[in-house]
Amino acid sequence: MLKPGQCLRLCLCLWSFFGVAQEPVRTVPAPSSDPKVDPTLRVSFDAWRDKLAEAMFGIRPSAFGDVLVAPNDEGKKKLDWGAFELDLEGKLHENLDAALAVVATRDATQLPVAFLDFHPFGGGIAPRGRLWVEKGFHIQVGRFDVPFGNDWQFFASKDSASISRPLTTDGIMDGGYNDLGLRVLGNNGAVNFNTFILRGFGEGRLVGGRFGLTPFGNPFSLRKTREPKIAEFGISLLYDTDRSRKRELAWAADAEGRLGPYQIRAEYLWRRREPGDSEEGSTKQGWHLTQEFAFADLPLPTTIFLRYDRITERSSLLPPEDDRDTRLTAGASAGLAGFLQLKVEWQHRLQARTASRETPGYSRNLWLAQLVVVF
């Protein structure tokens, strides 16, 4: 048990570390909401949404949806609804926020985000995608996307230039990890961390975290700013137990950098599942390298991208010569007034396991198109 004097010193250390007594980090100025200064439709819409939030006791809504053109199980192109997501953020108290996200697809309606956020200092964070908008220290309880590697920041279609996710996300993390639990996170401008205890994959509990460094510039505008040079390096760990025995262990290393309109991201993931009473153990590992280049001065701001990714899965059920998927993906995303995103993507399988080739709709060369509407 900490004594009162020790508690006071601990609070002062946290206060100093996260920059409450320091000069604020210089961020890129937000566009003015005054139509006389910036008459764009997007800014006017955001100003209207802020007024709506005031009328709704501080609850700020946002939403997006998409439609997708992709092959069906027979390999024929088909236009289909993707997902519609409604995000709500609200301030319950000066130091207590709440966030909620509802995702509706043709198959189901889910609640991937629902948490309370207590922050003794610092402001709010985004409910999904890249978390940080300013320095802060947060304690959250509820359901949230679990930070592991760096692709978890781009799960939402509006946050990504590509339509698909890397093989590391789909093949190793089963589409991304979202869970219920408690997490503590903080960012002082140069160092950020996430630590969490979650419900986990089985009957036990999962503990883990991610530690990140942003040593060369302002991390709170990493996706939008052009200068100075920006970089982030991170390492992640997940450890899952099934009652008294280890069930899974996973770790990841990631890096991200930006120089003007050019951005590069990479991550390496490793995941080991221990054999159980009725299931085989397996080891999965893989990496991807994604490069993007933004043409912001075009009439329709456009981003082109190129990704190379590779994963392997090894178990006693798979022969060594049939354990690898390798893919090359390229495409472009064009935006209109901040409301619409039109994306096209080409995928080329360089290698494919038997299980991948037997997936309905599999093709060595695949073309996709997507329209995303952001409200």
- What are the tens digits of pLDDT across the range 25-37? 333 333 333 333 3
Q: What local confidence, expressed as pLDDT, does residue 92 receive?
A: 82
Question: In whole angstroms, what is the distance from residue 73 CA to residue 153 CA?
Answer: 29
114 and 141 in contact (C-beta within 8 Å)?
A: no
Question: In whole angstroms, what is the distance from residue 141 CA to residue 180 CA?
Answer: 8
Q: What local confidence, expressed as pLDDT, does residue 280 receive?
A: 80
pLDDT of residue 225 exceeding 60: no
pLDDT of residue 288 exceeding 70: yes
Strands annotated E in the chain? 60-71, 77-93, 96-104, 109-122, 136-145, 178-187, 191-198, 206-213, 230-242, 245-259, 262-273, 282-295, 302-314, 324-336, 340-351, 365-374
pLDDT of residue 278 exceeding 60: yes
Question: In whole angstroms, what is the distance from residue 373 CA to residue 157 CA?
Answer: 10
Domain parsing of the chain, residue ranges? 38-374
pLDDT of residue 4 exceeding 70: no
Question: In whole angstroms, what is the distance from residue 65 CA to residue 105 CA?
Answer: 10
Token pair belonging to 61: 């809504």
Q: What local confidence, expressed as pLDDT, does residue 11 receive?
A: 43
Cβ-in-10-Å burial (0-12, 13-18, 19+) of 48 comes to exposed
Question: In whole angstroms, what is the distance from residue 140 CA to residue 177 CA?
Answer: 17
Which of these ranges, 49-53, 240-244, 312-316, has the smallest mean pLDDT? 49-53
Q: What local confidence, expressed as pLDDT, does residue 32 receive?
A: 38
- What spatial distance separates the first Cα and last Cα of the chain, rounded to whole Å? 49
Question: In whole angstroms, what is the distance from residue 267 CA to residue 255 CA?
Answer: 6
Strands 245-259 and 262-273: antiparallel
In this prediction, residues 80-85 reach a mean pLDDT of 88
Kindly report the pTM of this predicted structure: 0.80
The residue with tokens 């390298």 is 289
Q: Phi and psi for 168 in degrees, rounded to 5?
A: -60, -35
Token pair belonging to 312: 């392997």
Which of these ranges, 153-162, 248-257, 352-361, has the smallest mean pLDDT? 352-361
- 351 or 48, which is more confident? 351
- State the amino acid at position 104 in one-letter form: A
How confident is residue 53, by pLDDT bands cut at 50, 70 and 90?
Answer: low
pLDDT of residue 141 exceeding 50: yes
Mean pLDDT of the chain: 81
DSSP 277: S
- 69 or 73, which is more confident? 69
With H, G, I as helix, E, B as strand and everything else as coil, classify residue 244.
coil
Question: In whole angstroms, what is the distance from residue 332 CA to residue 349 CA?
Answer: 19
In DSSP terms, 343 is beta-bridged to: 333, 370
Which of these ranges, 179-183, 258-262, 321-325, 352-356, has the smallest mean pLDDT? 321-325
What are the tens digits of pLDDT across the range 10-24? Answer: 443 444 444 433 333
CATH number of 38-374: 2.40.160.10
Token pair belonging to 154: 């781009």
Strands 302-314 and 262-273: unpaired
Q: Phi and psi for 225 in degrees, rounded to 5?
A: -75, 155
- 4 or 211, which is more confident? 211
Which of these ranges, 176-180, 207-211, 235-239, 302-306, has the smallest mean pLDDT? 176-180
Closest to 174 measured CA to CA, from 284, 72, 307, 321: 284
Length of the chain: 375
In this prediction, residues 152-163 reach a mean pLDDT of 90
How confident is residue 6, by pLDDT bands cut at 50, 70 and 90?
Answer: very low
Cα-based torsion angle of the residue sequence 3, 7, 8, 12 in order, rounded to the nearest 10 degrees: 150
In this prediction, residues 203-226 reach a mean pLDDT of 73
Q: What local confidence, expressed as pLDDT, does residue 320 receive?
A: 67
312 and 323 in contact (C-beta within 8 Å)?
A: yes
In DSSP terms, 197 is beta-bridged to: 182, 207
Token pair belonging to 350: 């360089």
pLDDT of residue 161 exceeding 80: yes
How confident is residue 108, by pLDDT bands cut at 50, 70 and 90?
Answer: confident
